[in-house]
């Protein structure tokens, strides 16, 4: 029974996300010359996509620390990565005007990845260090020029235990290039909702906490060594 309920929840989630992406896609095509506008459109739809996905998996989400975020205060949002579902909490809860950074494999996620690409968010090839650094430099320039936020999962891979893994250097390079503060976005309780390599969902109460900003003024490349 649990397996059937999980499959129905997943099917409903995919169907709803597919419908929202289908509605959003014509807008993105019309706005193709305007990357900032495309990002803001996907941010707006991301609220509904994230809400829908988390409702379908049966999770209740509570949020605290929202005084530490704001659309008029550009920042780097650093979220711990414990589940595939982090993709939905981040697009829902980060402010309007947030550029997402993801591994290139996300492009192949049904509906989500294609919308991400069309919106003008950023893909990184973790196997090509030089290309990844160049993409981050371009992203930093784009953020500075347009006073936008960025959201990144600095561990680079999921932590099945829920414990924090070592950070990749990408977030450090972004911080150095942009001088933006880092706002930790801590997700608690999501790691057991949809375990890796299974189709079984275990709904839970998920907490998302935005911690106070961390200044990156004075950070240097040497500090990343």
Task: Encode pLDDT of 104-153 as tens digits.
Answer: 888 888 877 888 889 999 988 877 778 888 888 899 999 999 999 999 99
> Taking all residues of the chain, what is their mean pLDDT, rounded to a whole number?
90
Q: Where are the beta strands (DSSP E) in the chain?
A: 60-64, 76-79, 98-103, 122-124, 149-152, 182-188, 205-210
pLDDT at residue 134, rounded to an integer: 87
- Grade residue 1 by pLDDT with cuts at 50, 70 and 90: low
Phi and psi, residue 196, nearest 5°: -55, 140
C-alpha gyration radius of the chain: 17
Largest CA distance in the chain: 56
pLDDT of residue 225: 61
**Domain 2-224 grouped into CATH 3.90.320:** no
Q: Using one digit for the tens of pLDDT, what is the confidence trace for 16-67?
A: 999 999 999 999 999 999 999 999 999 999 999 999 999 999 999 999 999 9
Residue 126's pLDDT is what? 74
Q: How far is residue 176's CA from residue 192's CA, in Å, rounded to a whole number?
A: 34
For 140-182, the pLDDT digits (tens) are 999 999 999 999 999 888 888 778 888 888 888 899 999 999 9
* Confidence at residue 127, expressed as pLDDT on a 0 to 100 scale: 74
- In 120-188, which ranges are E strands? 122-124, 149-152, 182-188
Whole-number pLDDT of residue 2? 63
Domain spans of the chain, in order of start: 2-224
Interval 32-42: pLDDT, tens? 999 999 999 99
């Amino acid at each position: 029974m649990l397996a059937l309920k999980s499959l129905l929840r997943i099917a409903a989630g995919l169907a709803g996300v597919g419908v929202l992406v289908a509605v959003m896609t014509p807008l993105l095509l019309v706005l193709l010359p305007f990357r900032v506008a495309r990002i803001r459109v996907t941010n707006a739809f991301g609220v509904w996509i994230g809400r829908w996905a988390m409702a379908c998996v049966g999770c209740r989400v509570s949020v605290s620390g929202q005084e530490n975020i704001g659309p008029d205060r550009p920042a780097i949002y650093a979220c711990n990565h414990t589940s595939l579902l982090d993709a939905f909490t981040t697009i829902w809860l980060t402010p309007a005007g947030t550029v997402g950074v993801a591994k290139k494999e996300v492009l192949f996620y049904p509906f989500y990845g294609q919308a991400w690409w069309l919106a003008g968010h950023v893909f990184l090839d973790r196997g090509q260090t030089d290309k990844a650094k160049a993409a981050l430099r371009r992203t930093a320039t784009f953020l500075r020029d347009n006073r936008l936020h960025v959201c990144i999962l600095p561990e680079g891979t999921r932590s099945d235990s829920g414990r924090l893994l070592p950070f990749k250097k990408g977030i450090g390079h972004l911080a150095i290039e942009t001088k933006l503060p880092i706002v930790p976005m801590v997700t608690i309780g999501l790691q057991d909702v949809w375990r890796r390599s299974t189709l079984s969902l275990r709904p839970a109460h998920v907490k998302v906490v935005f911690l106070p900003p961390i200044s990156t003024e004075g950070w240097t490349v040497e500090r990343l060594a």
